[in-house]
Structure 1
Amino acid sequence: MRIRPARPLPWAGLARALRHGLRRTLLALVPLLLLGPVPGCHPELVPPRAPTPWPAELAHRWQWQWQLSGPLDVAVEADVFLLDPVRTTSTETTALRARDRRLVCHVRVGTYAGTDPDATRFPTAVRGAAVAGRPGSRWLDVRQWDALRPVLADRFRLCRGKGFGAVALADADGYLHRPGFPLDFDDQLLFNRRLATLARSLDLSPGLVNDVPQVAALAPDFDFAVNEECVRLRQCAKLLPFADADKPVFHVEYAGSPDRFCVTTVGYGFASIRKDRDLDAWRESCPLL
């Protein structure tokens, strides 16, 4: 970009100015003019240590990918990637950020697996019943915030350190299962709100995974929602508090033809895809309106 003075200085006048000792001043001003910010030259980039923004005008226009297994495909044509922070490398997140992709960190907050690197940090007193369908995983007593907070905060810091700008809170619905503790609706609500606050304190945008019965109460506390199978379970309308607030709803179905379920979910304003349950790289996305 060329920068020109508003009133060109005649050569004779310039010579006189130089003779009067202004040459050093003019030379000092040139790099300042060239290096200073010029509005409109380039888009403003989100700094690495800032939470992911979700502009309201794009709320119904996102394409997304959810991959937790298999070699990560960074070339998928999606705006948003929901990934495992342990399996995903900093090299991969750097490659995605270079393409201006929004990165969401998948963190299990209400359960732990025996293979988790931090599994031994959970005190025996917070370890509950086995998670159905996931051998080696157990529920956590979300009422014991002081015991859980340090471990979960470090899980969030791992996300932040690898370049993620958002975190999706999975297994934040233990009260709907048999966790081995007498958890109720209010216990879970308090825990989830504390998690959203913790995420924000660490410069991460918080997202709620499933927990459909609490969506109406928690939508003001979270920036986006991730949902599994609201069409099959006939729960999609319950996610509207997010969509109506122009907050993204990232939705996945594991069965059925997108030609059928997309009519419902895209009409609601959701970003919908079809995936296999192992959440590898394959996906089939719904068209945007």
Structure 2
Amino acid sequence: MNTYSSVAKAYRIGTTLLASLAFSSFPAMGSEWPPTLDPNPAVQPPKWDWQLAVPVKENPDPTIKIYDIDMFENENSGAIQMLHSKGYKVICYLDVGSWENWRDDATDFPQSILGAKYSGFPDERWLDIRDVNPQKSKTGIKLAEILGRRFDRAQRMGCDAIEPDNIDGYDKAAHGSSGFPLTYEDQIYFNLWVANRAHARGMLVGLKNDINQAHDERIYNTFDFVVSEQCFQYNECNFFSDFLRLNKPVFEAEYKLALSKFCPAAKVNRISAIKKRPALNAAREDCSAYY
């Protein structure tokens, strides 16, 4: 379920809003970086907050050590500097698989790689992700250049990791057609390209949803963590079992379920689960009471 576009991006509309890195074991609560999981389910996994709304606000819970925020909206906000000064690590959200017409680099995208409208959002269109592949590009890999500049911006901002969104354009079971004949292998090529470009800049990278490729060893061996939405509500958390087996965190957000409906399972499976409002503002609940 790519619910960020149908939930969190609705907030923006309403308010105008290298190889895999090695993990090292460390104490609970995400106090070190890269984040990893304790093998003991009784130890709470790294705690996170997801704030794509601006301004970013520090959560009063001092045991949260990881914040996931919007890259573009915080490029000049000082949020990353504020969070770093207090010892937090920062994941930066940015879209890589679809085009958003309000971004400051929107005119850089060739019309030929803009596909079908993202269902429900007329100002967004799917991208022809094959364009990063020199063997399939018809523009001289313009998409690779554009996304490379975005990753450079994230690196300059001080992002410790990126959350690349809409990296399942091939998957018609998850959403409407992208408008391009994307294959499973096209998506694998693109997703590994994104991960390797992030790693080359010293940033970790998360698998955003993309449940039907999460069991592919090329994916779970390369991506450093997962960002998932509503996997308990939609019974999709099992797709991330290989990440969990490798002690790679699954940062998960629910919007509708009560804590009692997902926290016990989150504990057993060592998932970093929280409950957020659809606006993805500072409001947050987590499973701490279950540990």
The answer, yes or no, to whether TM exceeds 0.5 is yes
Q: Higher relative contact order at CA 8 Å, sep ≥6: structure 1 or structure 2?
A: 2
Structure 1 residue 139 and structure 2 residue 140: aligned? no
5+ residue gaps, structure 1: 1-44, 47-51
State the partner residue of 2:154: 159
| CA spacing shift, 1:286–1:135, aligned 2, 3 Å | farther
The alpha-carbon distance between structure 1 residues 266 and 57, as it changes in their structure 2 partners (threshold 3 A), is closer
Query: Cα deviation per residue 1:93-137 (whole Å; 9 max; x = unaligned)?
Result: 111111211100101110111101111111111100111122301
- Classify 1:163/1:275 alpha carbon distance in 2 versus 1 (closer, same or farther; 3 Å): same
Could you say which residue in structure 2 is the equivalent of 1:169?
A: 164
Opposite residue 128 of structure 2, the aligned amino acid is D
Q: 1:108-123, aligned counterparts within 5 Å?
A: 108-123=95-110
Is this contact kept in 2: 1:167–1:199, CA < 8 A? yes
Q: What is the total number of aligned residue pairs between the two structures? A: 240
Alignment partner, residue 275 of structure 1: 276
Which structure features the higher share of helix residues?
1
RMSD over aligned CA atoms reads 1.9
Alpha-carbon distance between aligned partners in 1 of 2:51 and 2:159, rounded to the nearest angstrom: 14
The answer on 1:127 being equivalent to 2:122 is: no
Quickly say closer, same or farther: Cα 1:152–1:55, change in 2 above 3 A: same
The amino acid across from 2:151 in the alignment is F
Report matched runs for 1:113-262 at 5 Å: 113-145=100-132, 146-176=141-171, 177=175, 178-217=177-216, 218-262=219-263
CA contact (8 A) 2:37 2:270 kept: no
Using structure 2 for the length normalisation, give the TM-score. Answer: 0.78
Structure 2 stretches lacking a partner, 5+ long: 1-30, 133-140
Cα pair 1:142 1:148 within 8 Å, conserved: yes
Contact 2:59 2:282 survives alignment (8 Å): no
Q: Scaled by the length of structure 1, what TM-score is found?
A: 0.79
Larger Rg: 1
Q: Percent identity?
A: 31
How far is 1:163 from its partner? 1.3
SS at match of 1:175: coil
